[in-house]
Structure 1
């Protein structure tokens, strides 16, 4: 399955990933500076949420594409159960 996000969707995902990247850099800096554990964990949790949201947005877009491409999958020999298993694996990778 190819990643094909349209304009606004792609921009939103990239913004979330950049935000997470900045937050992770902040966490590294905080640890290096010996900052308070609670502050570090709070920042790390924010980065984790940003990554999760980006992942879910990518999966949601992928689901749309999968529904549209379901007929192509049948033509290529992939049955409904194989498609379901592939999508389940994607969801579980973020759990």
Structure 2
């Protein structure tokens, strides 16, 4: 198995991933998919939606093996959270 190396800083990963999601992807995936995971290739803008991070990643990497992957949980500020309180966004 080939180990992919990040080509961007953590800050640029986040900026690119969030920008792509907000400008191009959100409107396509948001309705009816709250809580699902979006896996985004921050270089091509390609994305996959799945119930969990593993399946979203596997589906994207099957099409784009060298993807620089950013993950977002639809309708939430973060993929994971700690504690009993929900971090759901107010839209």
TM-score normalized with structure 1 length: 0.29
Q: Which has the higher contact order (CA 8 A, sep 6+)?
A: 1
Q: From the two aligned structures, give the one with the greater strand fraction.
A: 2
Structure index of larger Rg: 1
TM-score by length of 2: 0.29
